[in-house]
Structure formats: structure tokens, C-alpha cells
Structure 1
Amino acid sequence: MAEKGKSRSDYIVNLLIRGMFRLVMLFPYRIRVPLIGWIMARIVAPLAGYTKRIRGNLAYVCPELDKSEVERLCFEVPDNAGRTLIEIYSGKEFIDRVRDIPLGGDGAQALEQAHQESRPVILVTGHFGNYDVPRAALIARGYRVGAIYMPMKNVFFNKHYEAAISTIGTPLFPRGRKGLGQMLKFLRSGGMTGFLVDQHMAHGAPLTYFGKVAPTALSAAEMALKYDALLVPIYGIRAENGLDFTIQVDAPIAHTDAETMTQALNDSLEDLVRKHMGQWFWIHRRWKPERQRTRAAANTGP
């Protein structure tokens, strides 16, 4: 029975998802991961309207893509999302698969030095590849890594989702005043904290992503400036076999001002997405141009 004050539809959706997860967890990891990817791409995405949203986002920022490329991405994007979700729920099997991945990229040495010196670090990534791969690999190496996250709107699903991401590592800080306070205390103690920078923030700065205005939160850069923390873009890039990953650590973003630094984060992610278009979560309403036009009209009214 649904909890008081909670949606019955959320309760039913959660039951269906939990049932599906329990079923696929009976399969070996190498079968389970692509199976959920296929289910997400071929069944869930069309029914949930995700395919339509992918097409709309691509038409808005990449109108030059031909039809065959768009069709390919309409499969690859939800396939990657499904794989990511079941990998997170696979706990120890997932951790064992990624724990020894070497850190590559121009920022790997700076990240190791910050770890040795217990210097605060803000790790920034996006909904790309599997964003929990770097966190799992760094924690397995003994790095102190926390993460701030947005609780799921479906409270029934959120209970086991939080348990799953906690298996990969803690501490976790839910968005909100209490979580922010805990996260700042951890950061000041020399910890590393992970942020996702690629979500639409209604009152964010009007920065650009794929050449279009994409309101973006400045909080990661502002905290880096305030606490003299390194601001480091980091990514878990899915390999062609669909199961393995590489970890790319970009050079730390130079401390200038929050908007310049955050635009550099957007540019870093965009550069990587253009090389691996199917690995970014094009299902997101990242730009929301209609809402931006409405707000602009309201601000210029009589």
C-alpha cells in the first residue's frame, strides 16, 4: 500500500522497476548490463517519451545531424542510461570491474598530489558515460570522495536508489541546507566532493552549452574559489564493448571568476560529448528554451 501523501502511481512504478531489477540481477553481469540497456532503449524510452525528448534536444542544438545519426542516438542514449543504472545497482561486481582503472588525462597528477596533501578538491562531471565510475575507482584507491546528489522525486524508488549509490561509497550529501552544511564540513577537512554540472537551473547563470544558452549553477566554482579547492573535470567513458571504461581527468580549471570557470566546465563536457554523442543523457531538459523565452518576456514587460 502506498505511503500516506505519496502518489499511488509512483508506488506502482517503483514495484515494476524493483521487480525488473530483481529479475535481471539473476543474470551474470556481462548479460545483465546490456539486457537492461536494450530494455531501456527499445521499450521504456519510447513509452516514457524519452525518444521524443532526445529528438527535440538534438534538433535544437545539432540540427545538422542526418536522420540515421539521430536514430542511432535514440537507441544509444537510453541504452547507456539503462546500463549505468544497473551497474550502480550491481554493487561489488561493478566496483571490482572499475577499481583498478588507471587515471588518465592532463589532471591525473594534480589530483594525486591533492590527495597526498589533503587539499580540498571539487570533482565535476556530467550525466555522461557512467558518472559513478570515477567515484568508485577513487574510493577504491583510498581517496576521500563524497558526492552531492538530488534525491529522486519518486520517494519509493529513492529509498533503494540511495542504498545502491551508498554501496559504491560514502559520504553522500542530499541537496538542501543540511546536505550543504555536511558537504562543506567534509570539503574543508580536505575531502573531495563530486558535482554534476549539466542540469538546467532556473536561476543559474546564462552560460552556453552546444552553442545555446543553458542556465547553469555556479556553486561548484564559487566553492572552489571560497575554499581554495581544485576544480577538476573528471569522466568515466564507456568503452566500445559496453562494459568497460576509461577515466579521463582534465587539468584543473584555473581560478578566475565563477562564471568563467563554470563556462570552462561546460566546454570541457561539450568537447567530450561531441566525441561520444551517445553517452550523454540527451533525455535531460537541459535548455528549456520555451521557459527561457517566457522569463525574458516577463523581465522586459511594461
Structure 2
Amino acid sequence: MVYYALKLISWAACLLPRGLCEHFGQTLGYMGWLAVPGKRKQMAKGQVMRCLGCSEQEAERIVRASTVRFGSMLMEVLRFPVIKRQPDKYVRIQGLEKLQQSMAEQKGAVIAAAHSGNWELMGGAFAMAGIPLVGVAQKQRDAGVDKFINEYRTLIGMHITYKTGVREMFDMLKKGWAIGLIADQDPNRHDGIVLKFFGQYTNCLTGPASMARFQSVPILTSFMHREPDGTHTLIVDGPFYVEKTKDKRADIAKMTQFLNDAIEAHIRKYPEEWFWLHDRWKSIREEFPDKPWLQ
């Protein structure tokens, strides 16, 4: 039922003018902000103040803007059938040639990204630009939502696999595909490594560095930024290579810290575009509850 409802809403959104959809998106975003629990808002504001060293008032502005933008993101996903016809009117890729040169070796590549800007559109932008991309997705709790979002990701050219499909990722990488991994969230302590992010120790995903090191393929960073006119700039940098010394853990940690620093630099530049409602320090705070600098 949810799947068909989303399809119907998408059909209507594709018929409406772009400007009107943007207005609807903003309205949805503000409604979403009002629905966020106060405790979650306080957690997010605390993260902003610690990371950026700003006032509580400025932190609330950033968190609110970060949340409200989800309305516009949703409308853009619903309009994927329209965007597919004229992607250049929606996304400009800065540094695409860097990725193309890396892919020309037909050994594959790892794209390390963040929950900043419209990350759903980011993978599609690469695919529509001719990059064979595997999007690594989190399975949605609702089967209808999961079916809809994966259908639309596929519609704009991505090949989708779930986070559990590690074997498939390596198989596709060996065939020369790019693997898109979002590497800025808090994993469980068994899967992460403790490094610094915004000067604070936190648990970090090692997937991009581990995969690139194992297959000896390059890593490229990729970040989306929404321009004032509603278009997006997709910023690509690299290639970067993971060292292969006798100390595997150190090699992976060094590259993961490098990626953390790149993500941090982008967030500092566009703080309103990052997903601050995610509790980035949750797992390590629970492991070390007596550390005041983690509160």
C-alpha cells in the first residue's frame, strides 16, 4: 500500500513545476522539524556546539536548516523520472574527470561520501554521467518504502546492494565498478575503529579504506552541495591510495582518519547540509560513560 501511495505522489510531483515542488518540499521540511522530539534536537545542538564551537542559538539554526532540507530532498527523489531526462539541469559534477581517469584502468574504485547534501541524488548523478556505480543501501524497515526507493535508485542508473552484500561488492569491484560508501555514521563497536572527528574521539567506519586496500584500488571523496538556485554541485577529489605495509590496521586507520578530515572540512564549509540529527558519538559514549568529553 505504501509503495503505491509513493508512486502516486511521485507521479503528481513529476507533473508539477519544479518551483512548486520546491515550495512543497520546504513546507514538508518545516513540518518534519516540528515533529522531531525535543531530546533529539538537544542532542543535535550539543553536537553542533562541540564540533563548531558556536552559540546555542546558532547551533539551533544549523540543526533546523539541516532537518528542513529533507523536505526538498524527498521531493527531488520523487522527481527522479523528471531529473533522469535532464540531469545537467540539476547536478554539475566538479572533478568528474578524476573519477573517469581512475575508472579507465578498469580495476574499479571506492567512492567515500557523507550524509551531506542530497546523497540520494549523488549516486544517481554519477550513474547518469556514465559511471558504473554500486550504491550500498540500508534496508528500510517498511517493505513498500524499500521497494520504492530501490526502484528509483535503479531508475537513474545505480546498481543497488545492501550493506550485508559484501561479497557482491567485491565481485562488482573486480569487474571495474565503483562502490559508493557513505562513511560518516557511527557503526557498532565491533565494526569500527576509534579515531578523531572534529577533534573528538569517535567510532568510525573502516569500509572504504579496508575495501580499497584489499583490492588495491583508489578512493575518491565525493560531496554534494546545494546551490542557492536549487541546483547541486557534486565535488569529487582524489584519487587517494591506501598504503600497504605490514601493519594492516595502521594502514586502514591512517586512510580512515584522512577521510574523516575530508568529511569534517566539507561539513565546516556547509554545516547546514550535514545530518546532525544522527547521534555520531553514541557507541563510544555508551562504552565510556565516565568520560565527560563525550557527553
If the TM-score is normalised by the length of the shorter chain, which range does it land in?
Answer: 0.7 to 0.9
Kindly provide the CA deviation profile for residues 82-101 of structure 1, in whole angstroms up to 9, marking residues without a partner as x. 22222122112223453475
The separation in 1 between residues aligned to 2:167 and 2:88, in whole angstroms, is 29
Counterpart of 1:188, as a letter, is K
Determine the C-alpha separation between the residues in 1 that align with 2:211 and 2:183.
13
* Aligned-residue offset at 1:205: 0.4
- Checking the alignment, whether the CA contact within 8 Å between 1:98 and 1:244 is kept in structure 2 is no
Q: Can you list the C-alpha shifts for 1:176-232, whole angstroms capped at 9, x where unaligned? A: 1xx222221110011111000011012210122212222111121111011111111
Residue 117 of structure 1: how far off its partner (Å): 2.5
Equivalent of 2:257 in 245, 255, 263: 263
CA 91–264 in structure 1, closer or farther in 2 if over 3 Å, else same: same
Distance 2:104 2:177 in 1: 11
* Number of corresponding residues: 278
Rounded to whole Å, the distance in 2 between the matches of 1:22 and 1:44 is 22
Q: Secondary structure at the match of 2:279?
A: coil
Which letter maps to 2:116? F
Render the CA deviation track for 1:17-47: whole Å, top value 9, x for unaligned: 788767655532222134223322x211221
| Aligned residue in 2 for 1:119 | 107
CA contact (8 A) 1:54 1:283 kept: yes
2:28 aligned with 1:54: no
Counterpart residue identity of residue 108, structure 2: P
2:246 — aligned with what?
none
C-alpha distance in structure 1 between counterparts of 2:289 and 2:276, whole Å: 27
- The match for 1:191 is 177
Aligned to 1:169: 157
1:33–1:86 Cα contact (<8 Å) kept: yes
- Please list the CA deviations of residues 226-264 of structure 1 after superposition, one character each: whole Å capped at 9, or x if unmatched: 1111111012211012x2011211122232211111111
| Root mean square deviation, CA, Å | 2.7
5 Å-filtered alignment, 1:75-114, equals 75-99=64-88, 101-105=91-95, 108-114=96-102
8 Å Cα contact 1:134/1:236 also seen in 2: yes
Return the alpha-carbon distance in structure 2 between the equivalents of residues 16 and 207 of structure 1.
Answer: 43
Aligned equivalent of 2:61, options 50, 72, 87: 72
In structure 2, the partner of 1:200 is 186
Q: Gapped runs of 5+ residues in structure 2?
A: 244-250, 291-295
Aligned partner (choices 283, 288, 291) of residue 296 of structure 1:
288
Paired with 1:246 and 1:253, the residues of 2 have a C-alpha distance of: 21
Give the direction of change, closer, same or farther, for the CA distance of 1:251–1:16 in structure 2 (3 Å limit). Answer: same
Task: Tell me which residue corresponds to 1:132.
Answer: 120
Identity %: 21
The 1:58–1:102 alpha-carbon spacing in structure 2 relative to 1, beyond 3 Å, is closer
1:222 matched to 2:210? The reply is yes
Q: Is the 8 A contact 2:136 2:163 kept in 1?
A: yes
Aligned to 1:276: 270
Whether the aligned pair in 2 keeps the contact of 1:131 and 1:236 (CA below 8 Å) is yes
Q: Which runs of 5+ in 1 are unaligned?
A: 2-10
